[in-house]
Amino acid sequence: MDQDFSEFMAARWNALYRTAYLLTGEPHQAEDLLQEALAKTCVKWNTIRDKGAADGYVRRILAHDAIKGWRRRERELLGDPPSDVGTDDGLARHEIHLDLWQAIQELPPRMRAVLVLRYYEDLTETATADALGISVGAVKSQAHAATRRLSHLLDEPTATAQMGNS
């Protein structure tokens, strides 16, 4: 394996794992998703001219795979209760919005990916659109729809669900 790639993977594993976890909501799927994305990156490492952009390359694969290739597993989860993040993943010790996180996990994969890229990765709408291969308008509408759904799920007034532009 290329030394540069090994160093890249070692340096970025933790951060990318957290993104993968937010996209999947499940630790084993997150690890699997990230391993696959990094394997694809490794195979194409020599063709990536700007190694500084490799993070974005991996993130794009993560988002794509979370939406498309993992659709099957999303479907398998339909009808099942949301995973108990408070007991399985060691999150109960932390002060987090568990209700909101559970609601986010119930969003369709693309909507969730938009939220993760916008609000966790802090990407602009344009960068999010580029990462997901969709238009900026779609990012706006997906984010807006996601916020509305979350407001509804949490029984909050939708009037507060306005998206800010980057």
Residues that bind other proteins (CB under 8 A): 1, 9-10, 13-14, 17-19, 21-22, 27, 31, 35-36, 38-40, 42-43, 61, 64-65, 67-69, 71-72, 75-76, 78-79, 85, 89-91, 93-97, 100-101, 104, 108-111, 115-116, 119-120, 133-135, 137-138, 141, 145, 147, 150-151, 156, 160-161, 163-164
Residue 165: other Cβ atoms inside 10 A: 7
- Spatial distance between the Cα atoms of 10 and 12, rounded to a whole number of angstroms: 6
CB of 16 to other proteins, least distance (A): 9
CB 123 within 8 Å of CB 117? yes
CB 150 within 8 Å of CB 103? yes
85: left (phi over 0), alpha (psi -120 to 50) or beta: alpha
For residue 35, give both structure tokens.
Answer: 């391993």
How far CA 139 is from CA of 24, 81, 97, in Å, comes to 19, 28, 24
CB of 49 to other proteins, least distance (A): 19
CB of 37 to other proteins, least distance (A): 9
How far CA 151 is from CA of 33, 54, 71, 72, 131, in Å, comes to 29, 35, 24, 27, 26
CB of 56 to other proteins, least distance (A): 15
Nearer to other proteins, 6 or 51 (CB): 6
CB of 118 to other proteins, least distance (A): 9
